[in-house]
């Protein structure tokens, strides 16, 4: 496994890879969800590049970038046994050289849901992901369904900017009790960790309603709200039942829909989603 930091070293490493290359972009502090993306890349491509970069431009002013968990040695020890070819760990100065002023922005898809709660977040994500695509030149790039809007926005960007690659969205990896894996779960204390299953419970209750024949989106949103409000440690930020492609809120569920939510457990903000239909 080659571990490279500078751009020239990455380019040399990339040139040594022949055949199909898969990219797994991460912000590190890897968990089983990231490793499942790596495994899928390994199964579908000849080589895999993993990037580890805590991207400052996708954090809001009220989101503590300096507290984001980091442990490079642990990350590398998790990647080595998987046979990853290259790990790129660029510095912020490489990704954002002095005088930086170039941004990639997807429009309507970034306005609702996470985009409404975290202004500027997706501009940071699409900019860094475009730069990672340029630098690593992958044939396929792997993202988790847990960040459903991020996946949709990156897919849109890849089409709109004619990136010659396939964006692959992989299923959410969950703990045994249903909690979606996330680097942020580490912030939860014992009581919050127990209460955090409420996201999965709320999504499951809404899905049961849908599978029982309910198509009124307001009733589906109300069911998620009811389950979340019954958990004293949870503070709901939003629930949504939206069109899968446009992410616009639905009145009636007809085709594919995205159920999603953001919930605070103490100071920790968690998101999760299910796809219906």
* Interacting residues toward ligand PAF by CB under 6 A: 25-27, 55, 58, 125, 128-129, 147, 150
**Quick one: which of 175, 171, 169, 170 has its CA closest to 199?**
175
Q: Minimum Å distance from CB 271 to ligand PAF?
A: 11
Q: Minimum Å distance from CB 58 to ligand PAF?
A: 6
Give the HSE-up count for residue 108: Cα atoms under 13 Å, Cβ half-sphere. 5
Q: Minimum Å distance from CB 30 to ligand PAF?
A: 10
Kindly tell me which of 87 and 227 has the beta carbon lying closer to ligand PAF.
Answer: 87
Kindly tell me which of 27 and 224 has the beta carbon lying closer to ligand PAF.
Answer: 27
Kindly tell me which of 154 and 217 has the beta carbon lying closer to ligand PAF.
Answer: 154
Kindly tell me which of 231 and 272 has the beta carbon lying closer to ligand PAF.
Answer: 272
Q: Minimum Å distance from CB 162 to ligand PAF?
A: 20
109-143 burial: b if 16+ Cβ within 10 Å, else e: bbebbbbeebebbbbbbbbbbbbbbebbbbbbbbb
Kindly tell me which of 132 and 239 has the beta carbon lying closer to ligand PAF.
Answer: 132
Instruction: Read off φ and ψ for residue 55, nearest 5 degrees.
Output: -80, 110
Kindly compute the dihedral angle of the four CA atoms of residues 105, 111, 113, 119, in this order, to the nearest 10 degrees. 60
Q: Is 34 a catalytic residue?
A: yes
Kindly compute the dihedral angle of the four CA atoms of residues 120, 124, 129, 135, in this order, to the nearest 10 degrees. 150
- Catalytic residue, chosen from 31, 34, 47, 111, is 34
Kindly tell me which of 65 and 82 has the beta carbon lying closer to ligand PAF.
Answer: 65
Quickly tell me which residue has 């457990």 as its tokens.
265
Q: Minimum Å distance from CB 251 to ligand PAF?
A: 31
**C-alpha angle 277/145/54, rounded to 5°?**
160
Alpha-carbon gap, residue 107 to 124, rounded angstroms: 13
Concatenated DSSP letters for 144-213? EGGGHHHHHHHHHHHHHTT-SSEEEEEPPPB-TTSPBP-GGGGG--HHHHHHTTHHHHHHHHHHHHHHTT
Q: Minimum Å distance from CB 125 to ligand PAF?
A: 5
Cβ–Cβ under 8 Å, residues 7 and 24: no
Q: Active-site positions? A: 34
């Amino acid at each position: 496994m080659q571990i490279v930091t500078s751009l020239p070293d990455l380019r040399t490493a990339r040139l040594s890879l022949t055949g199909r290359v898969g990219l797994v972009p991460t912000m590190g502090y890897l968990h089983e969800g990231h490793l499942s993306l790596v495994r899928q890349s390994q199964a579908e491509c000849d080589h895999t590049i993993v990037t580890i970069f805590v991207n400052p431009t996708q954090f809001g002013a009220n989101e503590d970038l300096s507290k984001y968990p980091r442990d490079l040695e642990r990350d590398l020890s998790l990647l080595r046994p998987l046979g990853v070819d290259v790990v790129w760990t660029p510095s912020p100065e490489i990704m954002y050289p002095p005088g930086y002023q170039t941004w990639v922005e997807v429009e309507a898809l970034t306005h609702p849901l996470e985009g409404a709660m975290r202004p500027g977040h997706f501009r940071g994500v699409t900019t860094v992901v475009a730069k990672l695509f340029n630098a690593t030149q992958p044939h396929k790039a792997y993202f988790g369904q847990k960040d459903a809007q991020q996946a949709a926005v990156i897919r849109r960007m890849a089409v709109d900017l004619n990136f010659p690659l396939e964006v692959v969205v992989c299923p959410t990896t969950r703990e045994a009790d249903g909690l979606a894996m996330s680097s942020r779960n580490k912030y939860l204390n014992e009581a919050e960790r127990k209460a955090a299953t409420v996201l999965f419970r709320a999504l499951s209750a809404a899905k049961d309603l849908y599978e029982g024949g309910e198509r009124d989106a307001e009733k589906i949103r109300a069911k998620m709200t009811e389950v979340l409000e019954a958990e004293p440690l949870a503070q709901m930020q939003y629930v949504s039942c939206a069109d899968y492609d446009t992410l616009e809120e639905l009145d009636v569920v007809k085709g594919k829909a995205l159920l999603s939510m953001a919930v605070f457990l103490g100071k920790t903000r968690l998101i999760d989603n299910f796809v219906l239909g």
